[in-house]
Amino acid sequence: MAAIHLRVHEAGGPALLFEKVKGSKFRAASNIFGTLVRSEFIFRDSLKTVQQLIELKDDPVKAIKSPFKNFSAGLAALKALPKKNPFQKPVLFEEIKLTDLPQIQHWPMDGGAFVTLPQVYTEDIDKPGIMHANLGMYRIQLSGNDYEPDKEAGLHYQLHRGIGVHQHKANKKGLPLKVSVFVGGPPSHSVAAVMPLPEGISEMTFAGVLGGRRFRYCYEDGFCISTDADFVITGEVYPNDNRPEGPFGDHLGYYSLTHDFPVMKVHKVYARKNAIWPFTVVGRPPQEDTSFGKLIHAMTGKAIQQEIPGLKEVHAVDAAGVHPLLLAIGSERYTPYSPARQPAEILTIANHVLGTGQLSLAKFLFITADDDNALSTNNIETYFRFVLERINLKRDIHFYTNTTIDTLDYSGESLNSGSKVVLAAYGEPIRNIGNNHTGVFNNLNGFENPKPVMPGVIAIQAKAFSDYKTAAEEIGMMNIQLSMINAQRPVDDQLKTIAFIIICDDAGFVSETMNNFLWVTFTRCNPSHDMYGIGSFTENKHWGCTGPLVFDARIKPHHAPPVEKDAGIEKKINRFFEKGGSLYGVL
pLDDT beyond 60 at 92: yes
> 2-279: what fold?
Pnp Oxidase; Chain A (2.30.110)
Residue 230 has pLDDT above 90, yes or no: yes
Identify the pLDDT of residue 78: 78
What percent of the chain stands above pLDDT 90?
Answer: 73
The pLDDT value recorded for residue 198 is 65
Q: What is the mean pLDDT of residues 401-423?
A: 91
Q: What is the pLDDT of residue 59?
A: 52
Model pLDDT for residues 351-381, shown as the tens digit of each residue:
999 998 888 889 999 999 998 999 999 999 9
The pLDDT of residue 199 is: 60
Nearest alpha carbon to residue 532 among 493, 480, 491: 480
- 97 and 269 in contact (C-beta within 8 Å)? yes
Exposure on the CB side of residue 378, measured as CA atoms within 13 A: 5
What residue spans define the domains of the chain? Answer: 2-279, 302-405+415-425, 439-552
Q: Is pLDDT at 91 greater than 70 in this prediction?
A: no
Phi–psi pair at 512, nearest 5 degrees: -65, -45
Cβ pair 501, 475 in contact under 8 A: no
User: What is the reported pLDDT for 64?
Assistant: 46
Contact 160, 407 (CB under 8 A): no
Q: How confident is the model at residue 196 (pLDDT cuts 50, 70, 90)?
A: confident
Kindly report the backbone phi and psi dihedral angles of residue 205, in degrees, each rounded to the nearest multiple of 5, phi listed first: -70, -40
Torsion of CA 98, 100, 105, 110, to 10 degrees: 20
- Provide mean pLDDT across the span 476-490: 78
Rounded CA-CA distance 429/445 in Å is: 32
Summarised one tens digit per residue, pLDDT across range 57-84 is 655 445 445 554 554 556 666 788 899 9
The span from the CA of 16 to the CA of 28, in Å, is 8
pLDDT in tens, 8-40: 999 999 999 999 999 999 999 999 999 999 999
Residues 117-141, mean pLDDT to the nearest whole number: 93
Q: 125-134, 366-375, 484-493: which has the minimum mean pLDDT?
A: 484-493
Domain 302-405+415-425 falls in which CATH fold? UbiD C-terminal domain-like (3.40.1670)
Question: Looking at residue 414, what DSSP letter applies?
Answer: B
- Interval 253-288: pLDDT, tens: 999 999 999 999 999 999 999 999 999 999 999 999
CA–CA separation, 210 vs 230, rounded Å? 19
Q: Using an 8 Å Cβ cutoff, are 233 and 180 in contact?
A: yes
Pick the residue with more confidence: 216 or 435?
216
| Higher per-residue confidence, 192 vs 66 | 192
